[in-house]
Structure 1
Amino acid sequence: MEVKSSTESVISQMPNGSKYFHPVDYVVFSIMLILSASIGVYFAVQARRKKATSSGDYLMASRKMTHGPVSFSLLASFMSSVTILGLPAEYYMFGTMFTWFGLIYLLQPLIITSIYLPVFYELELVSAYEYLELRYNRLTRLLVTVLYLVLSTLYGGIVTYGPALALSKVTGLNMWGSIICTGGVCMFYTTLGGLKAVIWTDVLQSIIMISGFLVVIIQGSINLGGFSNIWKEAVNGGRIDFVHFEIDPRIRHTFWTILIGGSVLNASVNGCNQSQIQRYVCCRTKRDASISIFTSAIGLIIIMILAGMTGLTIYAIYKECDPIISGEVDKADQLFPYVIMDIVGHLPGIPGLFVAAVFSSSLSTISSGINAMACVTLEDFVRPSTNWTEMNYTRISKVFVILYGVLYIFVAFLASQIGGLIQMSFTVHGTIGGPITGIFTIGMLASWVNSWGALSGIFAGLFSTMWLFVGSRFYPSPPKYTRPLNLSTDGCIEEDLFSTASVTNVDTSYEVMGETSADYDTSTINYNLVTEISNDRPPIAEFYALSYLHFATVGFLTAVSVAMIVSLLTGRTKERPPGDELLVPIMRSGEIPKKENLEKTSRVEGAERSMSWVSPDKLLIHKHEETDNAPKGTTTFSKNPNMKDNNADEQMVLLKENSLSDESEEVFESESRV
């Protein structure tokens, strides 16, 4: 069976049009991979020249990054390839309600910079999960680290597999060849260049991603007579809708579902996730970290708008001949690459740019993930039980990067054999991330929550979300809650005779942004909702019908509630109250930080920040007031005899010339107190 849309653009029907790659496209795609690899080589050479071979240089970029590249890196690592392909499909299938996430992206920086950033940054942690040992105990730290590694491995494998599957269906690219090629390049530049290479390749990849959206929007607008015509078609097709304010948590996307569920989900991704926190604390100052968070939020809104415009453009092109029902594509997440090959496939190099954009989003997420996983494995499992040199720690970090990269590729192969992993990955993120976020958050806000409460909260939160997850697989949410919009094939032109039976056998289920729905009456060409819902659904199925966004909410609230109750029943934290440095600024009592807590934080060579953030035992310079060899009232300086850092002389000169900045004074005062 082969059907063709009557609304196809004139360009796609040109004799030279092609839905497969031109040699020029391969050149463009290869250039992107070569540039990414070159960045890794560059930073590896730079590190060797500067003799920056410590694990702090490799995993934390020496904590000297500025807000510019970090902003792009946060943006690129958040917008994975699954999101790049899924967002246009979301607008195509469900309309514009997703746009309310823009409000979440605006609130997100306020939450992160008020709660999570001050604690993580001031503690100078390398692994975010080390906080849990300082705040609760080592068992809590190791448990959450393992959960993070499982989640990151699963999601990383899906990010590797998803775009390769979608693109192979519509471009002719070999799926496994592209997976191995992409994974290999990613491991190459991440292993060589460390976090610096990851961040700077993210800058390149962000620009390429945005270019991919602009190609579809501009060419689609030209073909259809301007974006105003696209908007009119979207209005007529019911795609423009922002006014769902129902409080029912079972409805897939409403204002309140997005506001509440989206906030918790984004807090788990951006507030308590090693991959993002690692970027915050690698900034040279806390101000740089804050600016990068706010800037990346603006970038997220821009990309969301571009993705939405792309989805509406796809709808305007195929409103009369849905490519899914017509059999042109298998799943909704293949719509974006399909429209690229359809409307600009005749232009050599443009499809290659798009494929580069999709794989760039995949590269950024994979590189961020394997670098973060290597970091927590080293800091949470290896370093506490060993006493190696920094060079050996750096080497083992690179081994971990390679191992996790291979593991991602293995999970990608596994995903090809087990159906449904693509949509499951989003739900699992909420399932595991919700309880973890709850334990981090309550620990920073309530000083009386103890380790018994934390462990109980994690297990209770995981049990509740796993129960909800499994139940939702057995009793999927019905169409009255998912609310997909109708699509049509009235404009499809039959090129070959085919029977109605052949159409009804087409797989019309779809996977978009974490939901699967197949509850459609496929005996008709359009997606008419099934009005008769099975009566065998037990009452508990209504609980399983919760929006996928509320999986994180359930886990978060359960973990927090159980942690508080158990802590109250087990004596709170009277015997071991946490120090101020473990709480958010507004909850601090003003007491001097505990020396034992300061000593327990990571001391990774090469990871010190500017003087204002160097811990007392790491100071390169000592200050002496009124020494015997100096006139009364003067200040002298000397190098710390325990340190052999070449920067000590430079810092001493700088301090002498500036007569000790206020910032440095605070550090020396804190040293004397401790």
Structure 2
Amino acid sequence: MAEFGLLNWSVVFAYLIANLGLGWYMSRRVSTSEDYYLGDRSSPWWAIGISVVATYVSALSFLGGPAWAYGDGMAALAIHINYSLVVFACIVFFIPFFYNSGVASIYDYLERRFGIASRAVMGILFMVTMALGAASIMTATAVVVTFVTGLSTTFAIVLMTTIVVAYTMLGGMNAVIWTDVLQGIILIIGAGIIMVALLGEIGALPQALTFLDQHGKLNPINLDWDPSIAPTIWAGVFAMTLYHITVYGANQFMVQRALAAKNIGEAKKSYMVMGYAAFFLYFSFFLIGALLYVYYEGKPFKQPNEIILVFANALAIPGLLGIIGAAILSASMSTTSSAFNSLSTVSVTDFYQKFFHKDANEKHYLGASRVFTVLWGLAIIPIAIEFASSTGSILEVISKVGSYLVGAKLAMFGMGFFSKHTSERGLLIGVVAGLVGLMFFAPLDPIAPAVDGIWLAMGAERPEIAWPWFVVIAGGINIAAAWIASVVLDGFQQDWHEHSVPGQILAFEREGKPMMSEGWYVVPGKVEPVVWTLPLLFACTLGFLAWFGTLG
């Protein structure tokens, strides 16, 4: 505590108080459960956009991005080159369905398209993956708290979870959005200071890039076809595009912000902020990690997620560690607050209100939302403690864990949008088949010996497959099994469902409804001219990375 210094502590406390004050100010607008979930739709699109960026590009990226690049070099960036394509898909297909529904939970769509069982299954999948995500974020926070204070990691996790739950209890999506804006700005400032200081310490940049090239850490475009290697360009363009479409399009955690926009045009513009900004932010975080590899000459770290903190501490710039600590603490607080808000939303709207108390008043549902916020806070503590024992990049660890369920999410929404013949019974069979099939190729550690025994009995060895491809395997099996089971059990359908993409367009044409509102398409499957700039940006990104790889 003494080493952290009075100035650093002052920065941290001032920033935490500013966040809590902003949260308290915004919470005064919360009087109903809808206010708690969506706010009063007063936030501008740019604030929602920054919130979308800051929620995902948070403490995990600030710590885990450099740690990942320190180990794998700039090739690790391949996993994150696809955001412009991802946002393109979200704007064209996902947001119109969800925004037009007028509900707080995006999983209401699945009930309208297939039935109540599919909504419940997706809600459960979301809660499992979101709890894991919130736990990983809290672990990242604990790394910082432990580093700067010397407190035990377990105590830090319990302490920070308590603070975040208390902050979230103030409630309100408006509070979440505006604290995200604040933490996003501070996070970028902290990263900028680190980058400038790092460039000053390593000397000439061309020599640093040459060093990286000599050690195989420079080229961000790895053309290796080996499926056991995670950061390849093929995994980034194909597998991780599908992965991130699910993260941003079929995830209550992210889409709930767009649902808080004033209109569908504002919702789409808020997502475009992510489409334009994400790659450049991730490039900065990964470049910091690669340059740290140059600075430390590749020496191993017991806890790689602390590398950027070790460097910041060594600089001994007055207040710098306080700024970085405040940025990461605030990022985690805001992001985890968003997680608890969305977990509470799904718990209440998709389960509690649906199956237990259908006709209670708004005051009751608001109280239930706050109770579920506390329960989820208690649930993530043991998960976060388990994550803390990991020695790899937190960002990579949570990406691996989440990848086991992404295929099911993608298949359920994908078939809802584009399949004419898929029924609910077939869809649920597909979910089970996809997960079982994935376990056959990439089993979890407890069942790996048994699965390996099956492969050996067939006269083969289980192929090594990197986690980005899990979504392709699980999703492919899921889609095939669901379609076949649907046709066998329920036969071919004569008409497109009204909540499929073709069915929605046909319904608008049949009823004579306008397909555009204030220059933005209301129906899914239609693309505004400005949205076409996102695939163009992706092409430019690939060209930039190819050029960057030649600089060594």
TM-score range, shorter chain: 0.7 to 0.9
1:549 to 462, 465, 468: 468
1:382 corresponds to: 352
For residue 235 of structure 1, report the CA deviation from its aligned partner.
2.8
The within-5 A match list for 1:81-96 is 81-96=59-74
1:453 corresponds to: 426
For residue 267 of structure 1, report the CA deviation from its aligned partner.
1.2
Distance 2:487 2:342 in 1: 35
For residue 29 of structure 1, report the CA deviation from its aligned partner.
1.4
The within-5 A match list for 1:94-493 is 94-101=72-79, 103-165=81-143, 168-169=146-147, 172-319=150-297, 322=299, 324=300, 329-342=301-314, 344=315, 346-384=316-354, 385-386=356-357, 387-416=359-388, 424-470=397-443
Unaligned segments of structure 2, at least 5 residues: 450-455, 512-516, 523-552
SS in 1 for 2:82: helix
For residue 141 of structure 1, report the CA deviation from its aligned partner.
1.3
SS in 2 for 1:359: helix
Describe the shift of the 1:539–1:289 C-alpha distance in structure 2 as closer, same or farther (beyond 3 A).
farther
Describe the shift of the 1:91–1:246 C-alpha distance in structure 2 as closer, same or farther (beyond 3 A).
same
Distance 1:228 1:537 in 2: 54
For residue 360 of structure 1, report the CA deviation from its aligned partner.
2.7
1:565 has 2:489 as partner: no
Q: Deviations over 1:187-238 (max 9, x none)?
A: 2332213211111111111112112221221111122334444333323333
2:20 to 37, 49, 57: 37
Distance 1:397 1:333 in 2: 34
1:546 partner letter? I
Distance 1:540 1:202 in 2: 50
Distance 2:218 2:269 in 1: 33
Distance 2:459 2:207 in 1: 46
For residue 102 of structure 1, report the CA deviation from its aligned partner.
5.1
1:584 corresponds to: 501
The total of aligned residue pairs comes to 507
Q: Deviations over 1:266-299 (max 9, x none)?
A: 0121110011111111111111111111112222
My pick for the range that moved more, 291-300 or 366-375, is 291-300
For residue 178 of structure 1, report the CA deviation from its aligned partner.
3.5
Q: Is residue 136–residue 450 contact of structure 1 (8 Å, CA) maintained in 2? A: yes
Distance 2:460 2:31 in 1: 56
For residue 350 of structure 1, report the CA deviation from its aligned partner.
0.5
Distance 2:117 2:246 in 1: 20
The CA RMSD over aligned residues, in Å, is 3.1
My pick for the range that moved more, 582-591 or 66-75, is 582-591
SS in 1 for 2:506: coil
For residue 443 of structure 1, report the CA deviation from its aligned partner.
0.8
For residue 340 of structure 1, report the CA deviation from its aligned partner.
1.4
Q: Is residue 79–residue 231 contact of structure 2 (8 Å, CA) maintained in 1? A: no
Q: Is residue 42–residue 193 contact of structure 1 (8 Å, CA) maintained in 2? A: no
Q: Is residue 445–residue 587 contact of structure 1 (8 Å, CA) maintained in 2? A: no
Describe the shift of the 1:338–1:260 C-alpha distance in structure 2 as closer, same or farther (beyond 3 A).
same
Q: Is residue 116–residue 584 contact of structure 1 (8 Å, CA) maintained in 2? A: no
For residue 542 of structure 1, report the CA deviation from its aligned partner.
4.5
For residue 474 of structure 1, report the CA deviation from its aligned partner.
7.8
For residue 390 of structure 1, report the CA deviation from its aligned partner.
1.1
For residue 31 of structure 1, report the CA deviation from its aligned partner.
1.8
1:74 has 2:46 as partner: no
For residue 317 of structure 1, report the CA deviation from its aligned partner.
0.8
Describe the shift of the 1:474–1:227 C-alpha distance in structure 2 as closer, same or farther (beyond 3 A).
farther
SS in 2 for 1:248: coil
Q: Is residue 457–residue 558 contact of structure 1 (8 Å, CA) maintained in 2? A: yes
Q: Deviations over 1:553-593 (max 9, x none)?
A: 21211111111111121234649x6642x122686323689
For residue 110 of structure 1, report the CA deviation from its aligned partner.
1.1
- TM-score norm. by structure 1 comes to 0.70
Describe the shift of the 1:54–1:355 C-alpha distance in structure 2 as closer, same or farther (beyond 3 A).
same
2:322 partner letter? G
Distance 1:33 1:176 in 2: 21
Describe the shift of the 1:458–1:420 C-alpha distance in structure 2 as closer, same or farther (beyond 3 A).
farther
Describe the shift of the 1:376–1:236 C-alpha distance in structure 2 as closer, same or farther (beyond 3 A).
same
My pick for the range that moved more, 82-91 or 103-112, is 82-91
Describe the shift of the 1:235–1:542 C-alpha distance in structure 2 as closer, same or farther (beyond 3 A).
same
Q: Is residue 135–residue 387 contact of structure 2 (8 Å, CA) maintained in 1? A: yes
Distance 2:149 2:105 in 1: 41
Q: Is residue 220–residue 313 contact of structure 1 (8 Å, CA) maintained in 2? A: yes
Distance 1:450 1:470 in 2: 28
Describe the shift of the 1:43–1:379 C-alpha distance in structure 2 as closer, same or farther (beyond 3 A).
same
SS in 1 for 2:217: coil
Describe the shift of the 1:420–1:463 C-alpha distance in structure 2 as closer, same or farther (beyond 3 A).
farther
Distance 2:324 2:243 in 1: 29
For residue 120 of structure 1, report the CA deviation from its aligned partner.
1.0
Distance 1:539 1:31 in 2: 64
1:24 has 2:2 as partner: no
Distance 2:275 2:489 in 1: 41
Q: Deviations over 1:413-471 (max 9, x none)?
A: 34457888955532221111221111111111113211111111111122223444425
Describe the shift of the 1:405–1:474 C-alpha distance in structure 2 as closer, same or farther (beyond 3 A).
closer
Distance 2:239 2:2 in 1: 39
Distance 2:350 2:199 in 1: 52
- TM-score norm. by structure 2 comes to 0.84
SS in 2 for 1:247: coil
Q: Is residue 94–residue 239 contact of structure 1 (8 Å, CA) maintained in 2? A: yes
Unaligned segments of structure 1, at least 5 residues: 1-17, 477-535, 595-608, 615-674
Distance 2:382 2:444 in 1: 28
Q: Is residue 72–residue 296 contact of structure 1 (8 Å, CA) maintained in 2? A: yes
Q: Is residue 161–residue 413 contact of structure 1 (8 Å, CA) maintained in 2? A: yes
Name whichever structure is richer in helix by fraction.
2
Q: Is residue 407–residue 473 contact of structure 2 (8 Å, CA) maintained in 1? A: yes
Distance 2:164 2:318 in 1: 26
For residue 538 of structure 1, report the CA deviation from its aligned partner.
9.6
Q: Deviations over 1:495-551 (max 9, x none)?
A: xxxxxxxxxxxxxxxxxxxxxxxxxxxxxxxxxxxxxxxxx99975542x1111011
Question: Which one scores higher on RCO, CA 8 angstroms, separation ≥ 6?
Answer: 2
1:590 partner letter? A
Q: Is residue 87–residue 308 contact of structure 1 (8 Å, CA) maintained in 2? A: yes
